[in-house]
Amino acid sequence: MQRKQRLSRQIAYFIPYILWIGLFVIAPVVLLVYQSFFDINGHFTLSNYQTYFSSNTYLTMTLNSVWYAFLITFATLVISYPTAYVLNATKHPQLWLLLIIMPTWINLLLKAYAFIGIFSQAGIANQFLHFIGIAPQQILFTKFSFIFVAAYIQIPFMVLPIYNSINELNPSYVNASKDLGATSWQTFSKVIFPLTLPGVKAGVQAVFIPSLSLFMLTRLIGGNKVITLGTAIEEHFLTTMNWGMGSTIGVILIIAMVIIMSLTGGSKRRAKRGMTK
């Protein structure tokens, strides 16, 4: 009897969560899938998917999205891992961590506009180039600036999980590795990196998936030189008003994300052992 009561109370605790998930996650996804089966005139059709898979434009866009998301994630990882590693060795890691997290408190749009100023013809970046004797360059509206700013925005989401996994690493493992004759580099590649892989995976998930659907930065910083699926969705919903096609691309993005999640989360059992004990 008592057990039954406790069970019903536990269910009660879940109600807000279930409501939230239902209203803001499941319902929108269902609506998106439903909408993707209607053409611009409101007729039920499979033509959206047909168009998507037969059109070179969309497939190029998809490849573009994946490629740029990969580049952004890679750049972020290359910067974040050493950062997280060095952070662990500092005296006040929490303070440094706070400094790294702080930019996330500022609105994305504001940061984008700030970079427009920095990268413009008369901006600080070009002033600096002038100072060291290099002629002004076109920085804004290049693929480089797009990847640079996107990586800048994503870095905190990569640093945090990696920092945590390095922080949890038992220092005995490092001593044991050296004791068995490993150099510092061997210790890193054979012990530290494999054991902090769960953090890297979490960081890759947190960066790659949002990077797939970036749309504002492609316009403001990339100058539409880079067209991703995010840009296409925005176009369809706001300009061409072809919501059906926009939803179709949305569904495909969601499927891509699920695939990536299962790929990076797959070997959790083996990776997890580094964290216990």
Partner 1 sequence: MAINTQPIVRLKNVCKSYGDTQILKNINLELEAGKFYTLLGPSGCGKTTILRTIAGFTDVTTGDVEFDGQVVNDLPANQRQVNTVFQDYALFPHLNVAENVAFGLKLNKLSKTEIDKRVSEALAMVQLADFGDREISELSGGQQQRVAIARALVMRPKVLLLDEPLSALDAKLRKDMQYELRELQQSLGITFLFVTHDQEEALAMSDEIFVMRAGEILQGGSPVDIYDEPINHFVANFIGESNIIPGKMLQDFQVEFVGKSFECADAGIPPNEAVEVVLRPEDLDIVAAAQGKLVVTVDSQLFRGNYFEIVAYDTDGNEWLVHSTNPADEGEPIGLTFDPQDIHVMRLNETEAAFDARLEKYEDD
Binding partner 1 by CB under 8 A: which of 180, 258, 261, 263? 180
CB of residue 175 to partner 1, shortest distance in Å = 5
For residues 133 and 163, give the distance between their C-alpha atoms in angstroms, rounded to a whole number: 38
Cβ neighbours of residue 134 closer than 8 Å, sequence gap 6 or more: none
Q: How far is CA 260 from the centre of its chain?
A: 11
Distances (CA, A) of 241 to 45, 144, 173: 17, 31, 58
Binding partner 1 by CB under 8 A: which of 93, 136, 194, 223? 194
CB of residue 174 to partner 1, shortest distance in Å = 9
183 binds partner 1 per the rule CB under 8 A: yes
Angle among Cα 184, 186, 189 to the nearest 5 degrees reads 110
Question: Between residues 15 and 89, which has the closer beta carbon with respect to partner 1?
Answer: 89
Residue 100 parent element (H or E): helix 93-101
Q: Which of positions 195-214 make contact with partner 1 (CB under 8 A)?
A: 195
Question: Between residues 150 and 191, which has the closer beta carbon with respect to partner 1?
Answer: 191
Of the candidate spans 46-54, 148-156, 166-174, 223-231, the one that interacts with partner 1 by CB under 8 A turns out to be 166-174
Closest by CA to 49, choosing from 252, 198, 230, 216, is 252
Closest by CA to 65, choosing from 230, 263, 255, is 230
189 binds partner 1 per the rule CB under 8 A: no
Binding partner 1 by CB under 8 A: which of 16, 42, 133, 181? 181
Binding site for partner 1 (CB under 8 A): 170, 172-173, 175-183, 186, 190-191, 194-195, 270-271, 273-274, 276-277
